[in-house]
Amino acid sequence: MPSAIEAIRDAIVNDAPAEEIAALELPTTARGALVREEDVDMFGDLPDDDRDPRQALRIEEFPLPELAPDEAYVAVMASAINFNTVWSSIFRPLPTFGFLKRLGRESYWGKRHDLPYHVLGSDASGVVLRVGSAVRSWKPGDRVTVQCNHVDDQDPSSHDDSMMASNQRIWGFETNFGGLAEISVVKANQLMPKPEHLSWEEAACNGLCNSTSYRMIVSKNGSHMQQGDSVLVWGASGGIGAYAVQYVLNGGGTPVGVCSSEKRAELLRAMGCDAVIDRRAEGFRFWKDEHEQDPKEWLRLGKKIRELVGRDVDIVFEHPGRQTMGASVFVAKRGGLIITCAATSGFMIEYDNRYLWMNLKTLKGCHFANYREAWAANQLVCDARVHPTLSRVFPLEQTGEAAYAVHKNLSEGKLGVLCLAPGEGLGVRNEALREQYLDQITLFRRFEQG
């Protein structure tokens, strides 16, 4: 007799009809990748770089919480690693338990999240198992992906651009019951249709990074790139960078992709990004030492960009932060835009403000995406106009290894995690569309495998 969770997995793998999925017994617990509050001091004074996610991430069984009226249980077939999984599991810049406590103070339903463990993960693909009484557009059996914008729609501040909502949160980072688990709890307004030409793991890896890059490059809330614009993309073969490159190319722009190895440079060229800067091979060193930057290096980067594309860039897609921001502000064209969503290498930023004001540049902050933007980005994946950047796949038990690889900049594109899916390559329904774009869909995977 299979357990409840095995029965769910088998029904999904065997493509059981919706009525059968709706009738499946729900387990009371599920397995997930979580961190525990008792571990938050485990790294002592170690610097971020030396903290190892493998030590903090545990795979454990946790009780499923009661379902709120506007929520759904999703049987997660696959998930993916994001940098926020790294932050959560090295407890930097803050342990995430403070976020859960704040959510816990908000409401009866919020209280469920405030626990001494935090189930992580901000991406998922899978199947809806049950929906709450207020859910209208989704039902058991629906095959879905999940976007991670967790919004309280009773808050007036969420009703223009929901990313402006005062209590906007990232699911699986600032809320509990994230996607790195066999079953996840999501709000109905996080659900989106699964791209049916993709496997579970290919479908799971896009939500967070693809939506973020869509807002940063395409949306009027971001840089609203125009045809003909040139865009400097830092970390162009990485999680958000590889989607940014696709959006620049799709929108008739010219990406200048920065990376740190010949392998990554080749991958970028294979994506159609002809202007590539290998920052390691070129030996760029924007900081002379811990305290002082080297404006000559900014100048050298600017010259390199002009050599490659004949002019300064209109937009800089910025996220490394402290290591690159001085250079980013310098190399954007007069009147150009530096759009930033992160600071991987340090958030205390320094740049020469003269270049910003005298040359009328704009520095703009950007964060994830609202539901409309995430939906549009997902639709582009469904239409095979944007492709997954999945390079490696790990079983749930090895979530720590996968997070370690992202933390140490050892991976390209996205790293997938199989939750309930018993293997790779499952879940494809539209074989014809897949066949048409197979080269693009599998590009990162093939590069990884050499």
Q: What residue ranges bind ligand NAP (CB under 6 A)? A: 82-84, 208-209, 212, 234-235, 237-241, 258-260, 264, 279, 319-320, 323-324, 341-342, 344-345, 367-368, 406, 409
Q: Which residues of 384-395 are buried (b: 16+ CB within 10 A; e: fewer)?
A: bebbbbbbbbbe
CB of 443 to ligand NAP, least distance (A): 16
CB of 241 to ligand NAP, least distance (A): 6
CB of 415 to ligand NAP, least distance (A): 8
Spatial neighbors of 17 by CB under 8 A, at least 6 apart, are 141
Distance CA 329, CA 279 (A): 17
Distance CA 85, CA 170 (A): 11
Closest CB to ligand NAP among residues 239, 253: 239
CB of 346 to ligand NAP, least distance (A): 9
Distance CA 61, CA 83 (A): 23
Q: Which residues of 219-240 are buried (b: 16+ CB within 10 A; e: fewer)?
A: bebbbebeeebbbbbbbbbbbb
Closest CB to ligand NAP among residues 10, 266: 266
CB of 209 to ligand NAP, least distance (A): 5
Question: Is 184 within 8 Å of 175 (Cβ atoms)?
Answer: no
Closest CB to ligand NAP among residues 235, 427: 235
Closest CB to ligand NAP among residues 196, 350: 350
Closest CB to ligand NAP among residues 83, 99: 83
Q: Cis ω on the peptide bond leading into residue 93 (within 30° of 0)?
A: yes
Closest CB to ligand NAP among residues 168, 230: 168
Closest CB to ligand NAP among residues 62, 99: 99
Token pair of 323 as six digits? 């290591």
Closest CB to ligand NAP among residues 258, 349: 258
Distance CA 71, CA 152 (A): 12
CB of 409 to ligand NAP, least distance (A): 5
CB of 206 to ligand NAP, least distance (A): 12
DSSP 274-303: -EEEETTTTT---BSSSS-B-HHHHHHHHH
Closest CB to ligand NAP among residues 73, 368: 368
DSSP 23-86: HSPPPSEEEEEEEEGGGTTTTTT--GGG--HHHH-EEEEEEPPPPPTTEEEEEEEEEE--HHHH
Question: Is 417 within 8 Å of 402 (Cβ atoms)?
Answer: yes
CB of 9 to ligand NAP, least distance (A): 28
CB of 21 to ligand NAP, least distance (A): 32
Token pair of 167 as six digits? 């209590």
**Residue owning tokens 């403070």:** 98
Question: Is 339 within 8 Å of 256 (Cβ atoms)?
Answer: no
